Amino acid sequence: MMSEKGKLVIISGPSGAGKGTVIKKLLELCPNLKFSVSATTRAPRPGETDGVEYFFLSKEKFEDMIEKDSFLEWAEYVGDYYGTPRQPIYDNIDDGHTVILDIEVQGARQVMQKEPDAVTIFIVPPDIEELNRRLRGRGTDSEEKLLARMERAKLEFKEMNKYNHVVSNDIVDRAAGEIIKLINRKDR
Ligand code: 5GP
């Protein structure tokens, strides 16, 4: 049994910054970390599994969960709902695990208010060209969604100063190493 409570870590950053890859690396390096699996109404991308990357829900089911106050936070992003199921987070923190939330800026703002001790990290791509390349390289979004994500990225950059730390995802291993140090610091 672990006695100390775990921390809550919010990771945000524009779509295409490579958050997902950095988080995967973090989870590989630190078995004590738990990823908070969000719910979403967007369709799964090839290779995504229900319950692993996300819980893929219908709009009705998602709205039912909003109604039942099952989310710590939720937001609309480029035409879909995304939300963080509340209970698993507190169960994991009580068990001593540090929990990682991969959420966009509106949701992050809600969690910062409710959980002021959360460690907040904003991941940026090394440059904007790289961000566009990564988004296009994914090859799963329609042109319209792609443009919406790029527009959205510009807005998200403006929120960067609300976070405790900004980490550049120049090299995944380096970025993950930096984040581990930030999480382990006694202050935020
Ligand atoms: P994607 O569709 O690329 O997986 O995610 C789109 C955006 O939604 C990303 O910025 C991601 O961080 C954010 N996101 C994922 N899960 C959640 C969530 O539970 N709540 C909020 N507010 N944003 C989320």
Is 156 near ligand 1, meaning CB less than 6 Å away?
A: no
| pLDDT, average across residues 106-114 | 98
Please determine, for residue 16, whether its predicted confidence score (pLDDT) is greater than 90: no
Looking at residue 1, its pLDDT comes to 53
CA of 82 to the centre of ligand 1 (A): 6
- Best of 8, 49, 104, 136 to mutate for ligand 1, by most ligand atoms within 8 A of CB? 104
Looking at residue 3, its pLDDT comes to 61
Percent of the residues in the chain that have a pLDDT greater than 70, as a whole number: 98
Task: Render the burial of 32-71: b for 16+ CB within 10 Å, e for the rest.
Answer: ebbbbbbbbbbeeeeeeeeeebbbbbeeeebeebeeeebb
Please determine, for residue 59, whether its predicted confidence score (pLDDT) is greater than 90: yes
Please determine, for residue 2, whether its predicted confidence score (pLDDT) is greater than 60: no
